[in-house]
């Protein structure tokens, strides 16, 4: 019979405390031998460890015991009054209502940015801007090339048109 660790620990503790019947104790000691442990050595090690701890680990004296007990009882009462989610350590502020408000705020910010920064006709921030570029002079130093500007108010675009240049294929690389 092979026991799980927690069962073995429970049996071991009961065996050390002398709470097993003689038959159970004999079975447990045989199982310990099968696992490679000496029952007498284990009992001696446990007894010496217990004696060592009792001798050298003294608990500090508690000053103001009544105040300490009052604080503990107060914390227990407060914990019993809290909802189960708070007692189990879950955050109650992170839920569906908070998520809905956060989503609505994000949508509002996105709508404002879309309306003001993307030109979709009249009334956008780009078209109302006082900053603009104007082509004042367009000349060339070649007599065969002429330059002119074309402005499209619907698209808010100004194009510089050069006539008379030699044709360059699209795959031509300028060096």
**pLDDT at site 124:** 47
SS3 state at 49: helix
**pLDDT at site 120:** 59
Instruction: List the pLDDT tens digit at each of the 175 positions of the chain.
Output: 445 567 888 888 899 888 989 999 999 999 889 988 899 999 999 989 988 888 888 777 777 888 888 888 888 888 777 666 555 555 666 678 888 999 999 999 999 988 888 765 555 444 555 556 667 778 888 888 888 888 887 877 888 888 888 877 878 877 6
Q: Pinpoint the alpha helices (H) of 3-126.
A: 5-17, 22-34, 39-56, 65-81, 84-87, 96-117
The length of the chain, given as a count of residues:
175
Asked if 163 contacts 145 with a C-beta cutoff of 8 angstroms, the reply is yes
**pLDDT at site 88:** 59
**pLDDT at site 69:** 87
**pLDDT at site 102:** 93
SS3 state at 159: strand
Task: Tally Cβ neighbours within 10 Å of residue 101.
Answer: 10
**pLDDT at site 90:** 59
Q: What is the spatial distance between Cα 44 and Cα 58, in angstroms, rounded to a whole number?
A: 22
């Amino acid at each position: 019979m092979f026991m799980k660790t927690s069962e073995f620990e429970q049996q071991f503790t009961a065996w050390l405390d002398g709470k097993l019947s003689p038959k159970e104790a004999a079975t447990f000691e045989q199982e310990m031998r099968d696992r490679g442990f000496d029952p007498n050595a284990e009992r001696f090690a446990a007894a010496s460890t217990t004696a060592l701890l009792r001798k050298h680990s003294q608990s500090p004296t508690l000053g103001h015991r009544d105040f300490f007990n009052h604080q503990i009882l107060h914390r227990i009462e407060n914990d019993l009054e809290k909802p189960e989610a708070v007692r189990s350590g879950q955050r109650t502020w992170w839920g569906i209502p908070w998520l809905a408000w956060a989503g609505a705020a994000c949508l509002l910010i996105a709508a404002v940015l879309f309306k003001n920064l993307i030109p979709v006709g009249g009334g956008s921030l780009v078209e109302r801007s006082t900053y603009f570029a104007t082509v004042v002079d367009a000349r060339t130093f070649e007599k065969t090339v002429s330059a002119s500007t074309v402005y499209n108010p619907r698209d808010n675009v100004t194009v510089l048109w050069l006539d008379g240049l030699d044709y360059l294929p699209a795959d031509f690389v300028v060096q």
